[in-house]
Amino acid sequence: MVQANIGVVGLAVMGSNLARNFASREGNTVAVYNRTWAKTQTLVTDHPEAGFIASKTIEEFAASLAKPRTAIIMVKAGTPTDAVIDELVAVFEPGDIIVDGGNALFTDTIRREKAVRETGINFVGAGISGGEEGALKGPSIMPGGSDESWVTLGPILKSIAAVVDGEPCVTHVGHDGAGHFVKMIHNGIEYADMQLIAEAYDLIRRGTGKPPAEIADIFTEWNKGELESYLIEITAEVLKQVDAKTGTPLVDVILDEAGSKGTGVWTVQTALDLGVPVSGIAEAVFARALSSKPEQRAAAASLPGPDENAWKLADGSETSTDAFIEGVRLALYASKVIAYSQGFDAIVAGAEQYGWDIKKGDIARIWRGGCIIRARFLNRITDAYAENPGLVALVTAPFFVDVMERTQTAWRTVVADAAHAGIPTPAFSSSLAYYDGLRADRLPTSLVQGQRDFFGAHTYKRVDREGTFHTLWSGDRSEIEATDSH
Ligand code: 6PG
């Protein structure tokens, strides 16, 4: 009997497409299983070319897999994942491999890996990016799990991943939850990138009065240069789309309340725990939250705003349209660099906290193709980490220093103009504030330390002497060396 080298459990769109992708690659035979048989039947009937081995029961599914059995779960993250893991553990044997390809929370993956490992079965949390089309044609894959499982899984995943410059967009990210952690950060950066693009669109629309179709052309043009990326490309497509029912641009009939499935929130929650400022990502998450408060927005709609000549107020003159658009492009590029820099900081901090050996250059490499944040400048990130693996902040790499040199004046003008005009640019502005905070010689946090010491005797350190100090604020205001009681 022919046995499959890979199985897929969960045959909704992502699972089906991934199964078809596996089947389309030389050397793979694919077993498929779904909770309801009807869905399996549809897939098998619609795609006879795939030669799927279909099973009605989980026992048959296990029997259809060659050892070590390797199955990838593509179900909704959360309890459905736990249920399928339990089913598979019951029919798999030590040495077999269970892969969760959903957007699981990395701490769940750590927990699951630990529990499954006790049975001798390998559990791998693998982040998969690229949406439905990526799953079918070549996603970017971020697997965690054991070295042992990577030996079997590596070639299978390499066979379906996107390929850039001859290299498949997959690497063994690190142990247990490392893959899902990196996928989570990927999504956080995705949120920031999308928000930044949306802000750029809003600035151009409100600043120049151009209609969406013309702004689409601007994005298409930008996509030929250093901003080239999947998200810029699809932005042009969305802006070009005309609503068939009303004949107006689709973007004008889509309700402006953005939803989310959780990965952006997780990124920010995790970054808060790790003490890493991911302000661009956080602003993107908050921007979606603000957009989804219709009652508050309606109540606030009549609040005072700037006067009509706001665009002229920033520097006393009206900027030419072309110069303004170019300024927005530069501000977008600068802010985008900050979003990635912050994302990589979170990866570094996560790796340290959870003991993962994550190669930052490899992460940038596997994000060059297949995934939602694929972009031309990811090559530059790979180069930056190759040149200096110990780089403390991506934005300080020579290439990005040059970018900042080139963009920062325009960036400041755009943020100032936006503030004058009353156009919200939370991600542009917070990225600039972060940049200025990072490069500041002195920060006013010395005052914060003074305040903390005043009301709570929280103590402070001095720039000129070793030790910890406290000022006797309610006494004679002399300074004492702090003791344990302070
Ligand atoms: C990807 C996407 C994918 C999904 C997000 C969207 O990498 O392919 O990130 O995982 O589209 O879950 O997230 P929101 O619904 O939260 O925007």
DSSP string, 235-303: HHHHHH-B-TTTSSBHHHHS-S-----SHHHHHHHHHHHHT---HHHHHHHHHHHHHT-HHHHHHHTTS
Q: Distance, CA 190 to ligand 1 centroid (Å)? A: 8
Overall average pLDDT of the 25-42 stretch: 97
Residue 263 Cβ inside 6 Å of ligand 1? The answer reads yes
Nearest in space to 65 (alpha carbons), one of 75, 52, 46, 76 = 52
Residue 129 Cβ inside 6 Å of ligand 1? The answer reads yes
Who wins on pLDDT, 373 or 316?
373
Overall average pLDDT of the 334-363 stretch: 97
Residue 371 Cβ inside 6 Å of ligand 1? The answer reads yes
**What pLDDT does 308 receive?**
72
Element (H, E) at 384: helix 378-387
pLDDT at 313 over 50: no
**What pLDDT does 367 receive?**
97
pLDDT at 186 over 90: yes
Residue 195 Cβ inside 6 Å of ligand 1? The answer reads no
Quick one: pLDDT band at residue 2, thresholds 50, 70, 90?
A: confident
Among 281, 372, 373, 374, which residue has the most ligand 1 atoms within 8 Å of its CB, making it the best to mutate? Answer: 372
Query: Average model confidence (pLDDT) for the chain?
Result: 96
| pLDDT, tens digit, 9 for 90 and up, residues 423-452 | 999 999 999 999 999 999 999 999 999 999
- The tokens for 116 are 């499954």
Q: Distance, CA 155 to ligand 1 centroid (Å)? A: 25
Q: Distance, CA 314 to ligand 1 centroid (Å)? A: 37
Overall average pLDDT of the 162-176 stretch: 97
Alpha carbon nearest to ligand 1 atom 12, residue: 261
**What pLDDT does 312 receive?**
55
Tell me how far CA of residue 27 lies from CA of 22, 94, 317, in angstroms.
Answer: 9, 24, 65
Residue 114 Cβ inside 6 Å of ligand 1? The answer reads no
**What pLDDT does 316 receive?**
52
Q: Which atom of ligand 1 is closest in space to residue 130's alpha carbon? A: 8
Quick one: pLDDT band at residue 368, thresholds 50, 70, 90?
A: very high
Residue 261 Cβ inside 6 Å of ligand 1? The answer reads yes
**CA 182, CA 159: separation in Å to the nearest integer?**
21
**CA 192, CA 343: separation in Å to the nearest integer?**
10
Alpha carbon nearest to ligand 1 atom 9, residue: 187
| pLDDT, tens digit, 9 for 90 and up, residues 220-246 | 999 999 999 999 999 999 999 999 999
Q: What does pTM read for this prediction?
A: 0.96
Percent of the chain with pLDDT over 70: 97
What lies within 8 Å, CB to CB, of 424 at 6+ separation is 199, 202, 287, 418
Nearest in space to 426 (alpha carbons), one of 304, 277, 285 = 285
**What pLDDT does 1 receive?**
77
pLDDT at 420 over 80: yes
Q: Which atom of ligand 1 is closest in space to residue 261's alpha carbon? A: 16
Residue 103 Cβ inside 6 Å of ligand 1? The answer reads yes
Residue 260 Cβ inside 6 Å of ligand 1? The answer reads yes
| pLDDT, tens digit, 9 for 90 and up, residues 293-306 | 999 999 999 999 99
pLDDT at 483 over 80: no
| pLDDT, tens digit, 9 for 90 and up, residues 110-146 | 999 999 999 999 999 999 999 999 999 999 999 999 9
Quick one: pLDDT band at residue 318, thresholds 50, 70, 90?
A: low
Among 14, 169, 190, 269, which residue has the most ligand 1 atoms within 8 Å of its CB, making it the best to mutate? Answer: 190
**CA 413, CA 424: separation in Å to the nearest integer?**
14
**CA 337, CA 407: separation in Å to the nearest integer?**
11
Among 230, 231, 263, which residue has the most ligand 1 atoms within 8 Å of its CB, making it the best to mutate? Answer: 263
Q: Distance, CA 187 to ligand 1 centroid (Å)? A: 6
Residue 74 Cβ inside 6 Å of ligand 1? The answer reads no
| pLDDT, tens digit, 9 for 90 and up, residues 400-410 | 999 999 999 99
Quick one: pLDDT band at residue 307, thresholds 50, 70, 90?
A: confident
**What pLDDT does 433 receive?**
98
User: For residue 141, what are the β-bridge partners?
Assistant: 128, 170
Residue 369 Cβ inside 6 Å of ligand 1? The answer reads no
Q: Distance, CA 273 to ligand 1 centroid (Å)? A: 22
Is residue 283 exposed (0-12), middle (13-18) or buried (19+ Cβ within 10 Å)?
Answer: buried
pLDDT at 269 over 50: yes
pLDDT at 176 over 70: yes
Q: Which residues are catalytic?
A: 183, 190
Alpha carbon nearest to ligand 1 atom 10, residue: 129
pLDDT at 485 over 60: no
